[in-house]
Structure 1
Amino acid sequence: MPKVKKLGNTPNLMVVVSLTIALFLIGLCGLLTLNARKLAEVVRQNVEVQAYLDNDLSNAKLDSIYKQIAKYPFVLFKDNSAQINFISKDAAAKQFIEDSGEDFHKLLGKNNNPLLNSYSIKIKEEYFSESRLKEIKKSLERIQGIKEVGYVENFVDEVNKNISKIYLILSGFVLLLLVIIIMLVNNTIKLALYSQRFLIRSMQLVGATDSFIRKPFVSKGALQGLISGFIASTLLIVTQQLAVNKVDGLVILQEIDKMVLLILIILMIGVLVGVTSTFRSVDKYLKLSLDDLY
């Protein structure tokens, strides 16, 4: 007995696989964008300004300078604590020798240390620009007891430029990919509906309305989009966890709330593309003449 075709019974695998690949690529671009944003935030929050102090300052004077610095609005606070660290000249000398491999004590003598005590100050992200850092430098140098203020010049502007380029490239790639994906999925669904074109015409001939004919197809398209979204999201999470386990330091870029939002967006895009493409494809066959169906 020949198998009777059911309205809305289109091939699942072909549509789901195509849509899953498409959604995974979109999600991957979104994940890269989130990681780039988080990396930029981490870099900005770790920018430090060094306030070098005069020699032979008393503990009371050091404490006074600390309190004056902490009052400035550009100082980063965490857990109600100003991110200001005192670095003694002995600690600075030890770090210099470890980093450079050169011991200046051999030349100057063990008791001679040309380095200065300093305060290392972390800056809020909104002050992450060359012009604002110059203003910070001038403000700190007005404090009595601070001899000089230093930071890595031009580094800030270079980081900002590179971050902007990354956002622009990824955004352009996502938009291009989205257009290509919509066209690809649209054609895939059209091919999947091809076998149902005569059944659609038969339903029209017996008086079924267009909305009645569309309903099972659109419902199927929404389900296919949802399934594809779940599979793509699972692959994305697995890919992220593999990367985190393989590459040291990537764990600091993870943001659970942003990842959940990305997954919800992928699911929404999956359902939207599935419904829209199915609706357009069914509408095409509803408007075709009998001769065009052949």
Structure 2
Amino acid sequence: MKSNKKLGSYPGILITVSLTVALFLIGFCGWVAFSSKELIKYIKQNIEVQAYLDRNLSESKIDSIYQVIASFPEIEKNGDKSLISFISSKTAAENFLAETNESYEEILGDNPFRDAFNLKVKEELLTDGDLAILKQKIEAVSGVYEADYAKDFVNGITENANKAYLILSAIVLIFLVATILLINNTIKLALYSQRFIIRTMQLVGATNAFIQKPFISKGLLQGFIAGVIASALILITQQLALKQVDGLSLIQNQQMMIYVIIIMLILGPTIGLVSTFQSINKYLNVDLDDLY
């Protein structure tokens, strides 16, 4: 009992704290990455294509145009209903007046706005190339004056999203490698004080598996505790951020958050196990002269 207690008396708290900090940084980057992905998705879901109509069209002609555009496979649907909204020229003028407090009638006299359809497009087609093709298809419909979309905004979203994913992936990878190196060195230093005890156990006939068992058990336990603490810190950070940042809740995906927690709970014990196993094997196979 005394030897077992002494065997595990290396600085486990230091290892646990180091692993907790490293896992928290990895989890935080993962949360930011998933939040960024949801932000891009949210923005894309609110990008619309506008189809401006010719003037003085009858209601039946407008309905006919609606039916044609609604049949396009690029248009997003909610069940069987295409996500298309109609904005009359009068409504557009009223919205302009409400936003700017400027009356077009004093300058132009006539209403310069046109009747228009706002179209929701499927997210996977929100690229400049696909939208350009859809624009041509819409403009080919009889009664459509022009189709338009925020071209520069779409291009900016696509380019920045790809850059953000690459940068965040690189950061997570760097933290992961740094974590493994940090914990390896910490455990090696911790086991350094136990090297003579390990050699003594070998001399009295203890098998490698018997010697490894208490160290590996501690490594697993420390990794699990670090994963739990890091997960709790991530959840606390998320809740504090939700209270401080307006609208952040709109881009939170709880399923993705569960994945982050599961990864940390698996990664902690795994790093603890692998690092401890590698470190303990070093002292099991070292020559007696090298112990000094």
Check whether TM > 0.5.
yes
Q: Report the TM-score, using the length of structure 1 for normalisation.
A: 0.94
Number of aligned residue pairs: give it.
291
Q: Who is 1:158 aligned against?
A: 156
Q: Per-residue CA shift, 1:217-275, capped at 9, x if unaligned?
A: 11211111111001101100111111111111111111111111111111111111100
Matched, 1:126 2:97: no
Give the drift of 1:4: 7.2
Q: Per-residue CA shift, 1:138-184, capped at 9, x if unaligned?
A: 10111112111111122212211111111111111111121111111
Inter-partner Cα distance in structure 1 for 2:101 and 2:195:
77
Give the residue type in structure 1 aligned to 2:56.
Answer: D
Give the drift of 1:3: 8.5
Inter-partner Cα distance in structure 2 for 1:86 and 1:140:
15
Q: Who is 2:18 aligned against?
A: 18
- SS at structure 2 position matched to 1:239: helix
Aligned residues: CA RMSD = 1.7
Which ranges in structure 1 are unaligned for 5 or more consecutive residues?
none
Give the drift of 1:212: 1.7
Give the drift of 1:60: 2.3
Give the residue type in structure 1 aligned to 2:54.
Answer: D
Q: Who is 2:179 aligned against?
A: 181
Give the drift of 1:71: 1.0
Give the drift of 1:102: 2.6
Inter-partner Cα distance in structure 2 for 1:288 and 1:26:
34
Give the residue type in structure 2 aligned to 1:132.
Answer: D
Q: Is the Cα–Cα contact under 8 Å of residues 46 and 123 in structure 1 kept in the other structure?
A: no
Give the residue type in structure 2 aligned to 1:152.
Answer: A
Q: Per-residue CA shift, 1:104-159, capped at 9, x if unaligned?
A: 122234xx211001000011111111111111011011111211111112221221
Structure 1 runs of 4+ off > 6 angstroms?
A: none
Q: Per-residue CA shift, 1:9-67, capped at 9, x if unaligned?
A: 43321111000000000001111110111111111111100001122222222222212
Q: Who is 1:194 aligned against?
A: 192
Q: Who is 1:75 aligned against?
A: 75
Q: Who is 2:268 aligned against?
A: 270
Give the drift of 1:97: 2.6
Give the residue type in structure 1 aligned to 2:125.
Answer: Y
Q: Who is 1:96 aligned against?
A: 96
Which ranges in structure 2 are unaligned for 5 or more consecutive residues?
none
Inter-partner Cα distance in structure 2 for 1:242 and 1:80:
40
Inter-partner Cα distance in structure 2 for 1:251 and 1:4:
50
Q: Who is 1:56 aligned against?
A: 56
Q: Which moved more, 1:19-28 or 1:284-293?
A: 284-293
Identity of aligned residues (%): 48
Q: Report the TM-score, using the length of structure 2 for normalisation.
A: 0.94
Inter-partner Cα distance in structure 2 for 1:86 and 1:28:
43
Q: Per-residue CA shift, 1:77-115, capped at 9, x if unaligned?
A: 124431111111122112223334432122234xx2110
- SS at structure 1 position matched to 2:55: coil
Give the residue type in structure 2 aligned to 1:154.
Answer: D
Give the residue type in structure 2 aligned to 1:156.
Answer: V
Q: Who is 2:238 aligned against?
A: 240
